């Protein structure tokens, strides 16, 4: 049996939550390996809606859920989310939740800095989720982060706090903000420490053990390849590597453990926040798709930008992330349209491109080249086999498959777990 790594192949919000939940019900462990509580994964199970940001999606089905070292962890957000999900009847305990003890923490000072920078940037802002993700990763690579394991040693934290606060005080002074209130920070950490430490452990060791026992492991990516710090639409990206390769480094297993790479792809395109979006629709068609697709952010409630399917970026994402097969989601949102368009290439200053160039100005300027296909009037919602789909929807899916040079493994036809058409089972491949 293979392990499976799930990643978003667009700008996030591809519907990973449902697919991961569907796979999680057959996995023995689910691992988050990057990002933090900027992610928003919605699961609908028997009509009950679970909104997760930081917890791996396996938690709802009682599967061992692991927050790997590649995640940046806000301990207060973790507590709030655990309490919220427990309030929905899910039991969360150290047997089914483990947090890497080498995870860097997101602190209130990171959230402060995220907000201060975005406000100062004005129209040049990234449009972050405001959760402090970027500043926390900066402190991680700057070697001044406070990590989960430090919560067990708060009495000897002073030298680390000195380093961290010296850096933040200088930055805060530039924004006319008072220095960090160290005493308050330390008190807050003392208060939250016992809660987090209950779940803390070297998760690489736990994963080694479950792997040795033959467990099926599901690696749950957050955001999408186009938001990757290296491969995305820089600087309008998140601060972690969102590609499949991060599953290994962000959990403490080798690259040979990551298995089948399932790219989640929405049947159209959305993006939240600023940055280039070649196929963006600002007309009534885009508005209609956004409304039918409920395109509002799970985390921030912001309205998502909407556009036609862009085969260029998905082909690029599949190559960069070594995608074995894709799960195509939200096809039902396109039901009823007279025609549907697919972007097959870009035009830029007289040249044709079959990829998205790296430079931000070029990304902003490329013009999509479209192929137009007939739409379908029949409903695809809740279809559970390919034979249930209208002929034009099948043609659309087949054309996507050709253009992205990657097979379609699953098609999702509603938010419900079982409304899924399976062509190839990632766990059996």
Q: Which residues are catalytic?
A: 13, 41
- Give me 401's structure tokens: 């498959």
Q: Which is nearer to ligand IMP, 40 or 368 (by Cβ)?
A: 40
**Interface mask toward ligand IMP for 193-222; x: CB under 6 A:** -----------------------------x
**Interface mask toward ligand IMP for 122-161; x: CB under 6 A:** ----xxxx-x-xx---------------------------
Contacts of 213 (CB under 8 A, 6+ apart): none
Least distance (Å) between residue 85 CB and ligand IMP:
18
Q: Which is nearer to ligand IMP, 223 or 380 (by Cβ)?
A: 223
**Interface mask toward ligand IMP for 25-64; x: CB under 6 A:** -------------xxx------------------------
Q: Which is nearer to ligand IMP, 69 or 238 (by Cβ)?
A: 238
Contacts of 65 (CB under 8 A, 6+ apart): 29, 30, 31, 32, 55, 56, 57, 58, 59, 96, 97, 98
Answer for which of 9, 10, 12, 151 binds ligand IMP (CB under 6 A) is 12
Torsion sign (Cα): 171, 175, 178, 181: negative
Q: Whole-angstrom Cα distance, residue 346 to residue 316?
A: 13
Answer for which of 273, 293, 368, 415 binds ligand IMP (CB under 6 A) is 273
Task: Answer yes or no: are the C-beta atoms of 293 and 285 closer than 8 Å.
Answer: no
The residue whose Cβ lies closest to ligand IMP is: 273
Q: Whole-angstrom Cα distance, residue 2 to residue 14?
A: 23
Q: Which is nearer to ligand IMP, 37 or 216 (by Cβ)?
A: 37
Q: Which is nearer to ligand IMP, 160 or 298 (by Cβ)?
A: 298
- Give me 108's structure tokens: 């209130």
Read off the DSSP letter of residue 177. Answer: P
Task: Answer yes or no: are the C-beta atoms of 292 and 306 closer than 8 Å.
Answer: no
* Binding of ligand IMP by 10 (CB under 6 A): no
Contacts of 336 (CB under 8 A, 6+ apart): 375, 376, 377
Helix (H, G, I), strand (E, B) or coil at 124: helix
Taking contact as CB under 6 A, which single stretch among the options 6-14, 194-202, 351-359, 399-407 is the one that binds ligand IMP?
A: 6-14
Answer for which of 165, 272, 311, 400 binds ligand IMP (CB under 6 A) is 272
Please state the separation of Cα 281 from the chain's center in Å.
23
Neighbours of 67 (CB within 10 A): 26
Helix (H, G, I), strand (E, B) or coil at 24: helix
**Interface mask toward ligand IMP for 340-379; x: CB under 6 A:** ----------------------------------------
- Give me 44's structure tokens: 């609908």
Residues numbered 229-258 forming contacts with ligand IMP, rule: CB under 6 A: 236, 238-239
Least distance (Å) between residue 402 CB and ligand IMP:
27
CA torsion, ordered 157, 160, 163, 165, to nearest 10 deg:
-40
Task: Answer yes or no: are the C-beta atoms of 272 and 13 closer than 8 Å.
Answer: yes
Least distance (Å) between residue 21 CB and ligand IMP:
16
Answer for which of 9, 105, 227, 248 binds ligand IMP (CB under 6 A) is 227
- Give me 390's structure tokens: 């209208």
Q: Which phi and psi (to 5°) does residue 242 adopt?
A: -100, 0
The position carrying tokens 């990234």 is 126
- Summarize as ranges the residues that interact with ligand IMP (CB under 6 A): 11-13, 38-40, 126-129, 131, 133-134, 222-223, 227, 236, 238-239, 272-273
């Amino acid at each position: 049996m293979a392990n499976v790594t799930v990643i978003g192949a667009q700008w996030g919000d591809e519907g990973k939550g449902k697919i991961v939940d569907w796979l999680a019900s057959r996995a023995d462990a689910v691992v988050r390996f990057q990002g933090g509580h900027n992610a928003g994964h919605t699961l609908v199970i028997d009509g009950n809606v679970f909104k997760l940001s930081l917890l791996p999606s396996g938690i709802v089905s009682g599967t061992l859920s692991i927050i790997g070292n590649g995640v940046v962890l806000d301990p207060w957000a973790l507590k709030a989310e655990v309490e919220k999900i427990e309030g929905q009847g899910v039991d969360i305990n150290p047997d089914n939740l483990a947090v890497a003890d080498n995870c860097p923490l997101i602190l209130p000072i990171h959230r402060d800095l995220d907000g201060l920078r975005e406000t100062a940037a004005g129209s040049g802002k990234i449009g972050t989720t405001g959760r402090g993700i970027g500043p926390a990763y900066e402190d991680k690579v700057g070697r001044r982060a406070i990590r989960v394991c430090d919560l067990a040693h708060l009495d000897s934290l002073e030298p680390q706090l000195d380093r961290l606060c010296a850096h933040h005080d200088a930055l805060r002074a530039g924004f006319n903000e008072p220095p960090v209130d160290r005493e308050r920070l330390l008190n807050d950490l003392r208060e939250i420490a016992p809660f987090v430490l209950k779940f803390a452990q070297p998760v690489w060791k736990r994963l080694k053990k479950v792997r040795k026992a033959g467990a099926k492991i599901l690696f749950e990516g957050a955001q999408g390849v186009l938001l990757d710090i290296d491969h995305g639409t820089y600087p309008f990206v998140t601060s972690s590597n969102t590609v499949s390769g991060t599953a290994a480094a962000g959990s403490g297993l080798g690259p040979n453990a990551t298995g089948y790479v399932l790219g989640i792809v929405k049947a159209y395109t959305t993006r939240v926040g600023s940055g280039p979006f070649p196929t963006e629709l600002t007309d009534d068609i885009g508005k209609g798709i956004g409304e039918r697709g409920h395109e509002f952010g799970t985390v921030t409630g912001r309205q998502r930008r909407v556009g036609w399917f862009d085969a260029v970026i998905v082909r690029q994402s599949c190559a960069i992330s070594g995608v074995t097969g894709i799960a195509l989601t939200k096809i039902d949102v396109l039901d009823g349209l007279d025609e549907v368009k697919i972007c097959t290439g870009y035009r830029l200053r007289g040249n044709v491109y079959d990829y998205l160039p790296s430079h931000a100005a070029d990304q902003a300027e490329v013009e999509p080249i479209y192929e137009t296909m007939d739409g379908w009037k029949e409903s695809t919602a809740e279809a559970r086999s390919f034979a249930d789909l209208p002929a034009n929807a099948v043609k659309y899916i087949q054309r996507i498959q050709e253009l992205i040079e990657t097979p379609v493994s699953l098609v999702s036809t509603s938010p419900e777990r079982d409304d899924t058409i399976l062509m190839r089972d990632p766990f059996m491949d």
